[in-house]
């Protein structure tokens, strides 16, 4: 993931060093010992120890009795103020809940993060097919419905990078040829929706649609993932697009567009 590589810039500032400690924690390694923090960040152990202590004092990290560190609740609390999670999720949740109640399947809200799709909200239930999506975690763009939507409406430079980067194969149906993916993206822009049939998980089918902010910038994607045996994109597409349009309409009322960073 984007924050896994240690930042070994020699001139790294103190703030940069403290942030690199926070960046050492990922969904795959949510708890770290000091020696691991030191190894991942490239910081000497005494420096890592001192900075981790300051992060614990503020509440950005918690230190367990066995000396392990993990992310603290205060960081979640402050992070929850991010409009791209808070505003977007608050607005999207009622629409996601409606879609869940009608389908009883996985309903996802996702945004672009580096060159991946980051899931910021999810509804699912006991009857939904199990898929490897978790709130706060990422998946590749080319093998998910939400990812294809976000990629199709992303800047050309990012599309080029993804199209000509490594397209990892997850199933026999995963699109790994740049030309095929490029044509799929044209189709997403033409139809206003993306489909993925067993391209990430065997047995799963996903349908996704873009969510726009007030500037008509695509800021997120809404996706529905169901059993490929039971569903058909033609049947579910209109429901997903309708919900995505409802979210876009509400988002357009926001005074500050979500995509409006400098």
Residues in the site for its own copies, rule: CB under 8 A?
3, 13-16, 18-19, 22-23, 25-27, 30-31, 51, 54-55, 58, 60, 62-65, 68, 70-86, 89-90, 94, 97, 111, 113, 118, 120, 123, 125-126, 134-136, 256, 260-262
CB 112 within 8 A of CB 118: yes
Q: How far is the CB of 161 from its own copies (least distance, A)?
A: 18
> For residue 45, which of 65, 72, 71, 67 has the smallest C-alpha distance?
67
Closer residue to its own copies (CB): 22 or 176: 22
Please state the closest distance from residue 70 (CB atom) to its own copies, in A. 6
CB of 180 to its own copies, least distance (A): 30
Q: Which lies closer to its own copies via its Cβ, residue 202 or residue 256?
A: 256
Cβ-based nearer residue to its own copies, 55 or 167:
55
DSSP strand pairing (218-227 vs 204-212)? antiparallel
Shortest CB 234 distance to its own copies, Å: 28
Sign of the CA dihedral running 84, 77, 96, 229: positive
**Smaller CB distance to its own copies: residue 39 or 63?**
63
Q: Quote the CA–CA distance of 215 and 209 in Å, as a whole number.
A: 17
- Minimum CB–partner distance for residue 2 and its own copies (Å): 9
Residue 35 CB contacts under 8 Å (≥ 6 apart), including other chains? 45
**CB neighbour class for 15 (10 Å; exposed up to 12, middle 13-18, buried from 19):** exposed
The residue among 120 and 175 lying less far from its own copies, judged by its C-beta, is 120
Q: Which of 205, 246, 28 is nearest to 106 (CA)?
A: 205
């Amino acid at each position: 993931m984007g924050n896994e590589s240690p930042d070994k810039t020699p001139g790294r500032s103190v703030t940069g060093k403290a942030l690199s400690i926070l960046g050492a924690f990922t969904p795959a390694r949510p708890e770290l010992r000091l020696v691991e923090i030191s190894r991942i960040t490239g910081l000497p152990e005494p420096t890592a120890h001192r900075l981790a202590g300051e992060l614990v004092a503020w509440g950005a990290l918690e230190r367990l009795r066995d000396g392990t560190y993990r992310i603290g609740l205060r960081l979640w609390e402050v992070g929850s103020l991010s409009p791209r999670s808070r505003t977007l999720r608050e607005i999207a949740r009622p629409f996601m809940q409606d879609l869940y109640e009608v389908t009883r399947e996985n309903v996802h809200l996702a945004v672009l993060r580096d060159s991946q799709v980051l899931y910021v909200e999810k509804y699912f239930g006991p009857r939904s097919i199990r898929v490897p999506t978790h709130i706060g975690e990422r998946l590749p763009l080319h093998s998910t419905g939400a990812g294809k939507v976000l990629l199709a409406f992303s800047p050309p430079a990012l599309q080029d990078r993804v199209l000509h980067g490594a397209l990892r194969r997850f199933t026999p149906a995963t699109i790994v040829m740049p030309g095929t993916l490029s044509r799929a993206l044209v189709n997403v822009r033409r139809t206003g929706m993306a489909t993925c049939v067993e391209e990430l998980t065997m047995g799963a089918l996903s349908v996704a649609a873009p969510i726009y902010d007030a500037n008509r910038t695509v800021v997120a994607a809404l996706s529905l993932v169901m059993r490929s045996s039971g569903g058909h994109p033609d049947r579910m597409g209109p429901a997903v697009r309708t919900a995505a349009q409802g979210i876009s309409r509400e988002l357009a009322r926001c005074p500050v567009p979500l995509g409006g960073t400098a």
